[in-house]
Structure 1
Amino acid sequence: MLDLYYRHQGLQGNPPVVLLHGLFGSLENLGSVAKALAEEFSVYSVDLRNHGRSPHHEMMNYELMANDVIRFLDSLSLTQVMILGHSMGGKVAMEVALRAPDRISGLIVADIAPIRYLPHHQQVFAGLQALTLSGITSRTQADQDLSAYVNEAAVRSFLLKNLVKTSASGFQWRMNLSAIAKHYEHIMAGQSSESSYEKPVLFIKGGTSDYILPRHQEVILSLFPAAGVKIIQNAGHWLHAEKPTIFNRLVIQFLKSIMSS
């Protein structure tokens, strides 16, 4: 287990909420959610292993990442929290809830299902691995080089947030790209458990995203029988960034419903 980097917002003593980002991301990705929640909750935004400012490790799978989060809860004496995860972070959140249900009073999963997905980041990996960091002199150059592999400017901008300047003319990856690539199959894996998580769960789906589909309902309910779903129309996989007002409202309403039950 690793000691994860985190950032806290809100008043200590308010109901605690843990936020977990997705693949290639960091805690900054859920910054608008954290800011909105901090008015009424004690918010802990976490960098998962091999991401952001958290430690690097050659091993990476959902069991390890869930144990990292449980260690994080232990380190702050957080006996029970609500947890929100987006994409890969949603899978980590589900894994934590299944492994330590007594620690999680409610779960929000943003645009991901507990299933194995087919590999679909090949061009991203190819582009990131093709960048010769020693030869990059600016982010503009890195963006131009990456554009040969990744067409979408917004996706390139997101990915290159991992590129940090080390000297007057040097860059390095903040994420552990080699470990992420090596264990990509594990990141695509789904969740399984002999027992289900019986407490409230909200799945929030982007209306134009195909990460959660009707055929996933059976496996979702087998693991999370109290799960409900909300759909944000005209939003894709990055629903929290595309429709922040609606997303934050759904999150706050759900968390308050847990507190009042």
Structure 2
Amino acid sequence: MSRLACGLAAALGLLALAAAPGPAAAQGATGCAALPARIPMPREARPEYLEEPNWRARVADVSRLVAADAGRAQIVFLGDSITQGWFPQVWEQFYGHRAALNLGVAGDFTQGLLWRIQPGGQWPANLRPKLAVLLIGTNNAGFAQQPEDTALGIAEIIRVIRQKSPSTKVLLVGLLPRGADASDPLRRMNQRVNELIARCADNQSVFFTDPGSMLVDGQGRLSDQVAFDRLHLSYVGYAILAAGLEPSIRYLLAR
């Protein structure tokens, strides 16, 4: 069986098992009341133009994409290399018919994404999608930043999106598992972030889904067939992720 067939089979076979939107939590009208701003705000929750040249080059590319297509976008995907790296065949199968924009930037952090969606950036006035799919924060964990600070950065991103486009629903995706097994410290950090950001969901404007359990086996092991470096997804990994997100995306686009 070809890799394409294997990937699509995985997507179809796992579609019915996908995670539903998370439980309701206290939520403000324009963001995540469960994770309020604090003084001083940590670096992870303040907009920052990052120094990395490849990040800056991709940001410039994304800015051109937004300028050309913002007015027609119905779904926007925001995130880091995991968002940027969708295999074209999987992306086309699931999102090609949905006027979707991929605004993922490899090497991004919560603070970098905050900078990108500030006034004059990559969320212009004519960007009014029905749905924003947000997956960000694993790079913060990789630099040993505190889960509480990473979670606050994600909450700030949600607040900015809600302020800029109140009609846009946010599908907040839990950070994906990383490392070979559940003992990996970075995986535990991601899990802690997920525990915190799940509280942002009100199931009215912000929804939480955690498809990570679909990427690991029954013993919590992450195969290199799913994530080739135990972080970035393979073709099969993206097919599984797409299947995990699909029920929530269909539900929210129909609301």
Taking structure 1 as the reference length, what is the TM-score of the superposition? 0.43
Which has the larger Rg?
A: 1
Q: Taking CA–CA contacts closer than 8 Å with sequence separation of 6 or more, which of the two structures ends up with the larger relative contact order? A: 2
Normalized per residue, the structure richer in helix is 2
Normalized per residue, the structure richer in strand is 1
